């Protein structure tokens, strides 16, 4: 594995078309803060501007997240040609909309009423997902799980998340599958650089390495490197703050790749 100080990105990128695919929560953010009964991502300062600079150099940027597209648009919607793998791959830019669109209105009303007396439990609508944020140390953790489990079925399933539970559409979808769906839209054989932070990113990171791309692991502050990291990681960044200089270094390297003929994004090509 390499760290940032050992990477000569200019040489690495000299003959490659580049696509930057990055996870959102805890990769580009410091986590989330409670605001108006919701959790709001706190984005590392300067990250959005740096990603925009990468797109202005003619490269594709893709944001991957459990969030729905509405939340992602709030942060990245002004970046030209931005692509999303939203709701863990259930929604993918440029693809047909899913055939099943869940209606969470009744569930949201019922669950909101049920959790109202409890502290530190709240609902997080996430596009095609419905999240309920509850820590595993909360005395009502099991009660919340049982309540949500009662709504599983008829197209929905319950999944555990890092901060609670999600009711999500049934089916096969993932971040890795989202990359496979977007790949035909990218020019030639791009060098994919994937940034992620959790177990949930590992299948995508393994896919990127299989495609001869670069897998970047962003550690949480104070976290240690997983024992099996060498199987799916090329570069390790110490925390989300380290993403900004890494992406700035990448952006500068892309500017210096004057020998690279960069095709237009398929979203801007004329017919």
Predicted pLDDT at 262: 41
The correct answer on CATH 3.90.1070 for the domain covering 105-169 is: yes
Q: Which residue from 35, 63, 28, 39 is spatially nearest to 166, judged by alpha carbons?
A: 39
HEC string of 65-100 equals CCCCHHHHHHHHCCCCCCEEEEHHHCEECCCCCCCC
**Predicted local distance difference test score (pLDDT) of residue 32:** 64
Query: What is the reported pTM?
Result: 0.87
Going by C-alpha positions, the residue among 116, 97, 96 that lies closest to residue 37 is 116
pLDDT given for residue 248 in this prediction: 93
Stretches in the chain below the pLDDT threshold 50: 1-2, 4-5, 35-37, 258-271
Domain 4-90+173-256 has CATH 3.40.50.1000: yes
Q: Which residue has the tokens 């960069």?
A: 262
C-beta of residue 90 within 8 angstroms of C-beta of residue 108: no
Rounded distance, CA 177 to CA 79, Å?
23
**pLDDT value at position 115?**
87
C-beta atoms surrounding 248 within 10 Å: 16
What is the pLDDT at residue 268? 31
* Per-domain boundaries in the chain: 4-90+173-256, 105-169
* pLDDT the model gives residue 135: 87
The answer to whether the CB of 155 falls within 8 A of the CB of 169 is yes
Ranges of H-type helices in the chain: 9-12, 47-56, 69-76, 105-115, 141-149, 175-182, 202-210, 243-256
């Amino acid at each position: 594995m390499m760290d940032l100080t050992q990477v000569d990105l200019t040489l690495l990128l000299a003959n490659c078309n580049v696509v930057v695919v990055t996870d959102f929560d805890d990769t580009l953010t410091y986590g989330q803060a409670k605001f108006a009964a919701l959790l709001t991502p706190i984005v590392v300062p300067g990250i959005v501007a740096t990603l925009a600079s990468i797109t202005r150099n003619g490269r594709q940027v893709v944001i991957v997240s459990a969030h729905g597209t509405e939340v992602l648009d709030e942060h990245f919607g002004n970046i030209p040609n931005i692509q999303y793998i939203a709701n863990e791959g259930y929604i993918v830019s440029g693809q047909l909309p899913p055939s099943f669109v869940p209606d969470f209105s009744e569930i949201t009303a019922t669950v909101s009423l049920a959790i109202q007396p409890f502290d530190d439990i709240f609902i997080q609508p996430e596009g095609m997902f419905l999240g309920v944020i509850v820590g595993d140390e909360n005395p009502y953790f099991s009660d919340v799980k049982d309540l949500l489990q009662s709504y599983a079925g008829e197209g929905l399933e319950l999944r555990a998340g890092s901060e609670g539970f999600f009711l999500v559409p049934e089916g096969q979808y993932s971040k890795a599958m989202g990359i496979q769906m977007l790949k035909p839209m990218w020019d030639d054989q791009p060098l994919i650089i994937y940034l992620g932070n959790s177990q949930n990113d590992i299948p995508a990171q393994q896919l990127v390495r299989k495609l001869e791309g670069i897998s970047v692991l962003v550690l949480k502050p104070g976290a240690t490197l997983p024992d099996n990291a060498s199987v799916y990681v090329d570069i390790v960044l110490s925390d989300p703050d380290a993403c900004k200089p890494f992406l700035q270094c990448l952006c500068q390297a892309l500017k210096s790749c004057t020998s690279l003929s960069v095709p237009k994004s398929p979203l801007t090509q004329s017919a």
